[in-house]
Structure 1
Amino acid sequence: MRDETKDVVQEISAKLVKQLRDKTDAGIMECKNALKECSGNIDKAIEYLRQKGLNKAAKKADRIAAEGVIAMKVSDDFTRATLVEVNSETDFVAKNEAFQELVTNVVNIGFDHNLSDTKQLMELHINNTTFEEYLKQKIATIGENIVIRRIITITCTPNQIINGYLHHNKKIGAIVVLESKDSNNRNKLQELVKYLSMQVASMKPKVISYKELDSEFVTKERVAIIAELEKENEELARLGKPLHRIPEYVSRLELNDSVLKNTEEELKEKLKKEGKPEKIWDKILPGQLERFIQDNTILDQRLTLLGQFYTLDDKKSVEQVINAKAKELKDTINIVSFKNFELGEGIEKKADDFATEVAAQMK
């Protein structure tokens, strides 16, 4: 009688062993024995190795991945953009060709399928397998844990335009969406929206406008900011340097019509005392009011995109730059949304004790 088990064992080729090794990163003999035990069934062999503690690819998933890259793709017509963060354990592996191929596939699939959810990504197919399985194979081949940490894709409406900025080190990336009332002006905003993406990447605003800030939060931050400036003034005074102005307010949220009107009256009274002719007040007051607003919106300058000083012209706020562009085009322009990815943001990196690690490997 023919021994079918013996035939299966004989059919376990080097190719089959390699396939299992690529998926698990286990040793050659470990893979061969697992396939023998499971009659050549790769899926059962993977589970067999996992139960034996020999599936190294699975073990890698427990290791912290805080390095890697940010990647971005923007459509040629500036109507869609995808931003992704793919993490590895070391910066060295982030330069690996296999890792870079993985990143390219992630951003392309995310772009093509309009993805903003990594779970959806894992369910899609690539090279006749699920992306989740493809990722496991890459982990086994590359030799480090790899995590598709986050992905976002934004598709514009007809009056919107999107562009982005990816820093040369691929550790910071940002995308911004602008909207114009006149769709004919959309293509005239390509450069501005790219510069605004650079602004977001470098200055890291949290919200678009002060209108998104909570009044209770602003009140708490005002106390902290004033204390911070007063403390810095102690050191500046010691060094004989100009002191910070201590603001009464820290956000436009606090500068209601009453506050601005009272301030204007105070400035007029000051001009009167200085003997400035009333006929020239209208030329002086706008600049003084603007300075008052700047001095009393420190929180907005730190946290809001519109309130920040423009990186390409720090004498203007982002809001002033956008308004100037709108005036030039005789249009209305608004920031719809923005997104900023910074590599490893919020990930608590493991501090490895090299001596302990070496000693563990020697056991």
Structure 2
Amino acid sequence: MSVQISASDVNKLRQQTGAGMMDCKKALVEANGDFEAAIDYLRKKGAKVAASRQDRESNEGVIIAKATEDKKSGIVVEVNCETDFVAKNADFVAFAEAIADIALANQPATLDDLKALEIDGRKIADLLIDQTGKIGEKIEVSKYEVVKAEEVVAYIHGNYRLGVLVGLSASGAGVQEAGKDVAMQIAAMNPIAIDKDGVDQNTIEREIAIAKEQIIAEGKPAEMAEKIAQGKLNKFFKDTTLLNQEFVKDSSKSISQFLDSVSKGLTVTAFKRVQLGA
């Protein structure tokens, strides 16, 4: 004899799981009215949906950047979906915020370690599968970064499209505000390193080789190429390394000079820039 499934039971299951009304009704019918069994049924259905969408691109989503209350560390995470429509959904953003909160509280070593952490007794990896089943899009956490420093600033740019963490060498009056200015600089100018010491040797050699080819192509003597190439390399460092870039808000200063004007010796010790889909 089949169990009668009431509309209130269906609604209760929908509230608990976030699944659609028809899916909830079917789950309760299959489970003979047993709520726990119905939840398992929906989870399995979600897992199947997730598995069928693993080959889909999930380049939309949100970037969440947060710093601890004492400003000594911060995290940034990228949580992806397939469409802009889902990315703008309040529930999806709240889910991403919950993952970011757990990441900030625990600061796991790797992305896999983050997915193994639990929210309300369930692993994030399992919750991602549940969300995929509920929403019908591939949901994933694709990036996770941590910065620790004397003062950390977290900044989210462009409606969750880009997140920046900046680690500064000291705390004190005006440092948070200055850090936000630097974070906005990083968001806009996308530096490749803090200073020239952070640029890898392959990049340096490639820039010198390109410069030499340009110089020789211009008809200048080969013996001059090395010296001119070094000048071009210095220009490359000025354009692409954070401390040497012109400060967007005041082009008369470099970022290094700007920070020094805020507090003598203040500098950037680390930064992370995470852009959606990049």
What's the TM-score once normalised by structure 2's chain length?
0.78
Q: Does 1:220 align with 2:206?
A: yes
Report SS of the residue matched to 1:81. strand
Stretch of structure 1 that moved more, 12-21 or 80-89: 12-21
> Residues 313 and 249 from structure 1, CA distance in 2 versus in 1: closer, same or farther, beyond 3 angstroms?
farther
Q: Is the 8 A contact 2:3 2:29 kept in 1?
A: no
- Sequence identity of aligned pairs in percent? 24
Aligned residue in 2 for 1:337: 270
Q: Does 1:74 align with 2:67?
A: yes
Aligned partner (choices 184, 198, 205) of residue 184 of structure 2: 198
1:229 Cα shift? Answer: 8.5
> Residues 333 and 90 from structure 1, CA distance in 2 versus in 1: closer, same or farther, beyond 3 angstroms?
same
RMSD value, Cα? 3.7
Aligned partner (choices 223, 241, 256) of residue 319 of structure 1: 256
Q: Does 1:87 align with 2:80?
A: yes
Hey, what's the Cα distance between the residues in 2 that align with 1:221 and 1:44?
Answer: 57
Q: Return the letter of the residue paired with 2:198.
A: E
1:296 Cα shift? Answer: 5.3
The within-5 A match list for 1:26-41 is 27=23, 31=27, 35=31, 41=37
Q: Is the 8 A contact 1:84 1:150 kept in 2?
A: yes
- Number of residue pairs aligned between Structure 1 and Structure 2: 268
Q: Is the 8 A contact 1:206 1:304 kept in 2?
A: yes
> Residues 338 and 17 from structure 1, CA distance in 2 versus in 1: closer, same or farther, beyond 3 angstroms?
closer
> Residues 29 and 12 from structure 1, CA distance in 2 versus in 1: closer, same or farther, beyond 3 angstroms?
closer
> Residues 230 and 66 from structure 1, CA distance in 2 versus in 1: closer, same or farther, beyond 3 angstroms?
farther
The within-5 A match list for 1:58-207 is 58-156=51-149, 160-180=150-170, 186-207=172-193
Hey, what's the Cα distance between the residues in 2 that align with 1:190 and 1:26?
Answer: 50
Report SS of the residue matched to 1:145. coil
Hey, what's the Cα distance between the residues in 1 that align with 2:132 and 2:160?
Answer: 21
Structure number with greater Rg is 1
1:179 Cα shift? Answer: 0.7
Q: Return the letter of the residue paired with 1:90.
A: T
Q: Return the letter of the residue paired with 1:219.
A: E
Stretch of structure 1 that moved more, 220-229 or 80-89: 220-229
Aligned residue in 2 for 1:301: 238
Hey, what's the Cα distance between the residues in 2 that align with 1:48 and 1:320?
Answer: 57
Report SS of the residue matched to 1:151. strand
> Residues 138 and 200 from structure 1, CA distance in 2 versus in 1: closer, same or farther, beyond 3 angstroms?
same
1:94 Cα shift? Answer: 0.6
Q: Deviations over 1:298-344 (max 9, x none)?
A: 2212432122222112233222333444xxx4x43332110000100
Q: Return the letter of the residue paired with 1:223.
A: A
1:202 Cα shift? Answer: 1.1
> Residues 118 and 25 from structure 1, CA distance in 2 versus in 1: closer, same or farther, beyond 3 angstroms?
farther
